[in-house]
Amino acid sequence: MKRRTTLQDIALDLNLTPATVSRALNNHPEISEKTKKIVEETAVRLNYNRNKIASSLRSGKTYVIGVLIPTAERAFFGSVIHGITNLANENGYDVIIYQSNEKHDYEIKGINAFISARVDGILASLSKDTIDCSHFLNAKEHDIPVVLFDRVNNDLDISSVTVNDFKGAYLATEHLIKQGFKRIAHIAGPQHIKAFNDRLKGYMRALQAHHIKFDPLLVYAGDISLEEGKAGVDYLLNLPAPPDAIFAVEDFAALGALKELKQRGLQIPEAFGIIGFCNDLFGEHTSPALSSIDQQTVIMGQEAFKLIHHIIQQDDAANFPATKVELEPIPFFRKSSSRAVV
């Protein structure tokens, strides 16, 4: 097939005009049922498929959402994409993916690619590298609304969908306290990322609420990786007064800590408690099973799409007042932190 069939072809075949055929296929109310029927039949017969490009150029709407994530390799983002994409497709939107690979430069390139593609909206989760966020303002200038998810930035007046990180951290820490752990440490993430900062704050507040003095020595400035989890344990166990439990900022860090603790022969959870954050898939299958705080990833994706979809439908969508959606963190207390229960 050399030339793809167009509205023109259908119109000629039926002695109609392209405009009428267009309206018929778009189920326009002012077209007779009879015409619609015959047009649809002919479209199928000629294997017609609407040229979305031409349609977008004319109408100014692409029905495309750009999704910018740090990396598709992390289960967390795969899961969010799953939520976004399914809902988007159901609503007639295509989803284009761009990865920042945790680099600020790539993030800018991604946003520019989205602007160039004239996406109707952008969903993004910031890279660890990102401090300056002016590229998102550039999207706004190009009239494209943005919704951030998970890794957000509060300086910007941009809509967002997050889990309540503060509360999640509070619940995790409180759980360790209630399980009888006495000196609870925290392996923290980069503090310029709001989510990670909130988790530190939640940890501190839980200690305070239970009249435990906060000891800054018990906070290890780590990152979301296996290695930093191990390094965190190494640091903490060498303290004059080492902890007997750890709340880690994220599951990979928690896993690293778990492995390191096991290797050092510490009994978990009898001698040492550990809980992570994210409820990554593997947590259920480690031994002992890793406690964690679930972030409702699929729902986060769905909510992000719902929000951007809502915003798109406003006039002057890019300047729609910032809306913050916050999801409940769901604790999964498994064996790694549970002395009482199994």
Partner DNA sequence: CTGTTAGCGCGTTCAG
Partner DNA sequence: CTGAACGCGCTAACAG
> Helix (H, G, I), strand (E, B), or coil: what is residue 151?
coil
CB atoms within 10 A of CB 276: 32
Task: Kindly state whether residue 2 participates in binding DNA, applying the rule CB under 7 A.
Answer: no
Angle at alpha carbon of residue 256, lines to 286 and 252, rounded to 5°? 75
Contact indicator for 147, 158 with CB cutoff of 8 Å: yes
Asked whether position 78 contacts a second copy by CB under 8 A, the answer is: yes
Structure tokens at 62: 């692409």
Residue of the chain from 2, 44, 47, 58 that contacts DNA (CB under 7 A): 58
Structural contact between residues 213 and 207, judged by C-beta atoms closer than 8 angstroms: yes
CA–CA distance from 215 to each of 174, 190, 198, 218, 243 (Å)? 16, 19, 17, 6, 10
The answer to whether residue 26 forms part of the interface with a second copy (CB under 8 A) is no
Smallest gap, in angstroms, from Cβ of residue 236 to a second copy? 21
The DSSP symbol for 287 reads: S
- The correct pick among 51, 191, 263, 267 for binding a second copy (CB under 8 A) is 51
Q: How far, rounded to the nearest angstrom, does the alpha carbon of residue 179 sit from its chain's CA centroid? A: 31
As measured in angstroms, the least distance from the Cβ of 202 to a second copy is 26
235 binds, among a second copy, DNA, none (CB under 5 to 8 A by kind): none
CB of 188 to a second copy, least distance (A): 22
* Residue 6 interacts with, from a second copy, DNA, none (CB under 5-8 Å by kind): DNA
Binding DNA (rule: CB under 7 A), the pick from 12, 57, 271, 341 is 57
Residue found under tokens 């909130």: 198
Q: Report the sign of the C-alpha dihedral through residues 26, 30, 31, 33, in that order.
A: positive
Residues 290-319 that bind a second copy (CB under 8 A): 298
Which residues bind to DNA, rule: CB under 7 A? 3-4, 6-8, 15-20, 22-26, 28, 30-32, 34-35, 50-51, 54-55, 57-59
Which residues bind to a second copy, rule: CB under 8 A? 1-2, 4, 47, 49-54, 56-57, 62, 64, 71-75, 77-79, 81-82, 85-86, 89, 94-99, 101, 106, 109-110, 112-113, 115-118, 138, 141-143, 255, 259, 281-282, 285-287, 298
